[in-house]
Structure formats: structure tokens, C-alpha cells
Chains A and B, each alone.
Chain A
Amino acid sequence: MSKVKNWHLKREVEYPYDGSRPSRQWAIIFDLNKCIACQTCTLACKTTWTSGKGQEYMFWNNVETKPWGGFPLGWDMRVLEKLGRQEWNQQGEYLGKTLIEAAPAHERVLHFAPTDEDWMYPNVGEDDCAGAKMEGGGHMATMPHDKWFFYLPRTCAHCTYPACLAACPRKAIYKRPEDGIVLIDQTRCKGYGECVRACPYKKSMYNPHTRTSEKCVGCYPAVEEGVQPQCVVNCIGKIRVMGFVSPPEKARDDNPVDFLIHKLGLALPYYPQLGLEPNIYYIPPIHADREYLRQMFGPKVDAAIERYKKLPDDAVAQGLLCLIGSTDRIMHRFEVNKGMAVGFDDKGAELVRVPVVEPVIERAAYDDKLGAIRNNTP
């Protein structure tokens, strides 16, 4: 076992291979306050990548309702149950065990193995509400709400320390040094399904037609062309941005992803305690139960939510949030000045320019020239 640096946990963790960070790390940020579970992302991925035989059940991108939903069934609760109660300290350092550290001697990763049935209800629990008993009266009067749910869109996290890669006895899984995308070599995979067992996020899936395992490819052909993944560019809610995240010591304030993760502390990894340094990050939903959010996002979630509430006072952050969803291309740098937010590619060329605050134009309700009533339907 090697010791590798995991900045999500502020400590070294055990990993079967030596640590070597890719020169850039693929990452997606999702603003969970804005996701509407329209599943356009799910379908964008599905029609692009998994419309073939043996992929019928696969959703490399899925959106589930928390806390009750899960694809496969109960994936998060079942792995947390295995791990048992663990602790963080006040400084945000993780004192507990990761899934690799907690693995029994005969396993590489502590896991639960999903059965066939577990994969068959991709949207179970949709819109099911959690919280106290439903009785008369207002239920959204408090913040956080006492009745709550939220939508959690998920892709493979192209983890810095992937459990899928650690578990594969054939060494058929590799992490690309140029962008950190984790891929299964379809010539070497023998369908042992060790990655399916080991990935706690259950983002490696067995194809019963090819008899190999498959997973989200991070839309690498697009990324290589400087374009964001399908599930990102098709997002109706404009809640997602893909970019490259740096470790904290290399973070750049003008990198959109670094800015939201490191500078603002607004976007957090999910279930970081599992120890893989997953690279999908979430702006937590401010209305949901805090205990639940702390379990999912760790101890920094309270600060992230406080920060979110102060966004109206932060013109730079606002500008960046306006840029999200405004370009298909990968933004490597952004700037906000004179009320305009601008995104740039890796060569410094301007990609997109948007106003931080859209001008408000008031018009009469009746258009005399056309003789028609105006309405706001776009």
C-alpha cells in the first residue's frame, strides 16, 4: 500500500498504487439549488453513448431524488452502512477510515455488490419528500425546510484515487495522465465486475452483451476538442460547468472551477469520506436537512451554504454563475468587470461574454402596432 495525499480529507490515505496526479483533472460542478430533474442530461448521455445492446439499463449520468432515490437501489446508504460511523475533526480533517483502509484483508475495497434487481429501478423515489409528518400548514416557512428533497445529478467522478482502478485484478482500468479521465480498456476487460463491486458511487456497469464492464468516458472525444461533455452542454437548468480542477496549492482564482471550489468553498465533493477524491463537485442545496448534507458533503457544508446566501453581494461569483451554461466550450479562465463576465479558452481566446445582470426592459402590456397582447412566454 502507498500513502497518497487526499486534499478532500486533509490527510494521506492508503492506495494500492503510488500517487501521480494528472497534468489536468477533469471535473464537473453542479449547482443543486437549480437542478429540476428534467433528465435531459441523462438522455443526452444515453443517446450519445449507451443506446446499444447490453446498455439498456445503463445511465452513466443519472439524476436521483435525495434522500429516497438511488441508482442502483440504495447505493449510498448501503456503502455508508458498511463503513459505519466515522468522524471528522473541527479543522475539517477526516479521522475515520476510507473504503480502502477499511477493507478486510481478502478485499481491496470495502463494498457492497449490487444485484441484478438493484439496477432495475433507475428513478425510484422520484420527488418523494423527507422530513417530519405532513400535517396542515406551511412546510417551507423555515430554512432549511422541515419537509425537503433535492435532485442529485451524477456522473462518474473520474476520481483521483479510483476504487474501480484499485480493484481491477487485470489492470484493465487506467487514468489518463493528460486529463484524469478514468477509462476501462475494452480490450483487456474480462468482465470480472470487480469495478462494479468496488466503485462506491456505482458508476461502473456490466454490459451483459459484450460481457465487459463499461463506464462514463467523461466525453473524452469532446474534451480533447475543448468542448464540455454532453450531459453538461445539454443541461436545461444551466446548473453545470465542466473544467479542470487543481489541487489547492495550485489553484488559480481565475479558473472557473478552482474559483468555486477553492476560492469560495462553494462547491464540495460528495461523500469525500469514502476516500477516492471524487471530481464531481456540488453547490449544496440550501433548503435541505443539514445533518443529511453534512453526511453527504462533509463538515464544510455549513460554510458553503452561508457563502451561497451571500452571493448577491459578490459580483465576481455572480458573473461566473452567469457564464455557466453560456458556452459549449471548456472555460480555462474568466474575468468579471464593468458588469460583464467573460470566459476564455486555454489559448486565451474569448469564448463568451454575458452581462452579470440582464437589463430589465419594461414594455406596455398591449402592442398597438401589432394589435396584440404581449406576454412573457419566450
Chain B
Amino acid sequence: MNTPTWALSAAFTFSLAAFGCSKSAPPVAKPTPLTTLEIKKVSADLSKPDPAASYWKDAPEGLVTLLAQPMIAPRPETTTTDSVIVQAVHDGTRAAFRLRWKDTEKSEAGRLGEFSDGLALEFPLRDGPPPPVMMGAKDMPVHLFHWRAQYQRDKEQGKPSIKDLYPNQSIDMYPHEYKEAPVGSPSAAEKFSPGVAEGNPQSYAKTGVDEIVAEGFSTSSVQEGHGSLAQGAWANGEWTLVIVRPLVIDGGSTLKPGGTSNIAFAVWQGGKGEVGSRKCLTMQWTPVKVQ
């Protein structure tokens, strides 16, 4: 596949133009490009992700540039999310990342043909030379923390029922829920709900963020979580999201106080049909320094 160099220049020109033309908007100091993400130690309780917490005021912020995923189809035709503003802090046991990016509509998926807004943080799973930034490679795994607005909705309101998604739908009966029928049992109903029957994590209520391990394209698989949490808020065409993860994860990526690592980012705009490999992402690792 060709890496489109034009995409870089097009995105660059676009952001300049957008910046230069916004005469009516109050002047906002544009964060500088993020060269190293410093995770500052704070004396705060990070056990609850809080996008509006006061410690974010003093945390340095930097901007990472995203491009439409260029390596494998299907991919977005153009870059839909060109940057994310990143901040990070830690409390000795957990690290919290605050991410802000523009998205004109909030998308939580649910019905047919609808997709969710999302963001993923990626870390090398092991120490040593960093793996290929796009999903790692065989024996060079990456560790992802994948938040979706859809997963957050699950956490806040429970997994939506068909009635929630389609308030006007009606059905005579679900045969497996018809109590008097010999086939009407919860286990029969589950059997005919294949994702549920197979224990696919996708078919169960989510906690907000999925932990995923991958060793190259098409290999990602959802793992047992390590208590990572997320909370996002959408307002005025912008998402503000906090993802909290343990610093040290046994058998997973680790951020040791005083140590270094790498991080990368991906964003999905559900309203633009982005899902899976249709995403915008950072094209290289950003070095991480943990205070």
C-alpha cells in the first residue's frame, strides 16, 4: 500500500486554513506539538476519571497530529480528526490521560448502520525496542485501551435493549421467552443469541473501556481488564475524555515512575462511519516520561 504523502500536506494546509480563518473565535493559545508526554505526579485521587478535575489546569498539554489510517483498507478517504490535545498525570499507582478532540456530532451507535465515537491509547506491551506503531507485530505486542461512547453509555445506562434502540418496535413474542413453550428458557434464548452464547465480550455490557492486545493487523483481541476506567463528555463539537489505567500491569504494558515508554493514539468518528480500521491515528510513537 502507498502511504499518501499528499494526505500529510492536505491535512496540514487544512489546519492552517481553519486556524487562520476563525476570526470570530476568541484567540486561544494553540497547544504546541507534543514531543514527549510527561506524566506528572499529582497528589490527587485518580481512582475516578474526571475530565473537569482541577489538576488538569496545571498539567502541560501538547498536540498530536493524526492522519487517516493509511496502511490497510478499508480506511477513511480523508483525515476526519487531525489532532488530539493530550495531558497526563499519575498518583503513584494510576495514570490518567485527558484527551480533547473535535467531533461535530456525538455518536453512540446502537441501531443498524450506526457507529460509535471512540479513542484508543496504545502502548508497547513489553520493554525494549518499540513495536511497529500500527497494531504491533508478531512477538512485538501492543496494549490498547479502547474507549467508545457506546461503551460509556452501557456503563451509565446499561446495555440498551431493543426497545431502547427502537421505541416503536413491536413483536408478537420471542419464542424462547414464551414461558409455557417447552423451548422457553433463558438458556434456549441465549443459545439463539450467538454472540452471547459464545461469550463474545461485544455482546455484554461494557464498563467504558476495553483492554486489547494485538500482534499485528487483524489480531486484536479483548483481554480481561485491569481496572482501567474512562469518562468522556461531549460539548460544543468537542470530546473531552479521561482514561485511567494502572501504572503497572502484570503481563501488560507498564509505566514505572521515573521510567520511560511510548504512546500512540487513534480516534474514530462514528457519525462519519468510522469503525475498526476506518480511523485516524498518530503515525509514530510519542515518547513518554513518567515523573
Contacts and interface: CB of A to CB of B under 8 A. Distances in A.
B76 interface: yes
Interface string B184-209: 00000100111111111011000000
Please provide the 4 A-B residue pairs with the shortest distance between their CB atoms, ordered closest to farther. Answer: A210-B195, A192-B276, A212-B195, A186-B194
A47 B175 contact: yes
Interface stretch (A167-175, A233-241, A271-279): A167-175
A208 B200 contact: no
A125 to B, nearest CB: 20
Interface stretch (A82-90, A100-108, A254-262): A100-108
A209 B74 contact: no
Interface string B59-72: 00000000010001
A194 B174 contact: no
A68 interface: no
Given A54-B162, A113-B273, A169-B218, A186 B75 contact: no
Contacts of B273: 113
Interface of A: 47, 49, 51-57, 103-108, 113-116, 118-119, 167, 169-171, 186-194, 196, 206-212, 214
B44 interface: no
A212 B202 contact: yes
Contacts of B194: 186, 210, 212, 214
Contacts of A192: 275-276
A74 to B, nearest CB: 15
A60 to B, nearest CB: 13
Nearest to A192: B276
A96 to B, nearest CB: 21
B73 A189 contact: no
B200 A187 contact: yes
Contacts of A103: 73
A52 B175 CA distance: 8
A54, A113, A208: most-surrounded residue (chain B CB, <10 A)? A208
B88 to A, nearest CB: 28
A193 B73 contact: no
B162 A190 contact: no
A147 to B, nearest CB: 35
B182 to A, nearest CB: 14
B202 A191 contact: yes
B193 A115 contact: no
Interface stretch (B35-43, B108-116, B224-232, B249-257): B108-116
Interface of B: 1-2, 68, 72-77, 110-115, 161-162, 165, 169, 171, 174-176, 189, 192-200, 202-203, 217-218, 220-221, 273, 275-277
Nearest to B202: A211
A187 B175 CA distance: 24
Contacts of B275: 192-193
A143 to B, nearest CB: 41
Given A52-B174, A56-B171, A190-B202, A210 B76 contact: no
Nearest to A16: B73
B199 A187 contact: yes
B195 A189 contact: yes
Contact of B200 (A49, A52, A167, A212): A212
Given A53-B193, A206-B113, 12 more contacts: A52-B193, A53-B174, A114-B112, A169-B218, A186-B198, A189-B195, A192-B275, A193-B113, A194-B74, A208-B165, A209-B193, A212-B202
20 contacts: A51-B174, A52-B176, A53-B193, A54-B162, A56-B169, A104-B77, A116-B111, A116-B112, A167-B74, A169-B218, A171-B218, A186-B195, A187-B200, A191-B202, A193-B115, A206-B112, A206-B113, A207-B193, A211-B195, A211-B203
A187 B202 CA distance: 9
Nearest to A213: B195
A194 B198 CA distance: 21
**Residue from A52, A114, A214 whose CB has the most chain B CB atoms within 10 Å:** A52
Contact of A56 (B162, B192, B202): B162
A208 B162 contact: yes
Contact of A51 (B1, B175, B203): B175
A108 B72 CA distance: 9
B79 to A, nearest CB: 12
Interface centre among A53, A170, A206 (most CB of B within 10 A): A53
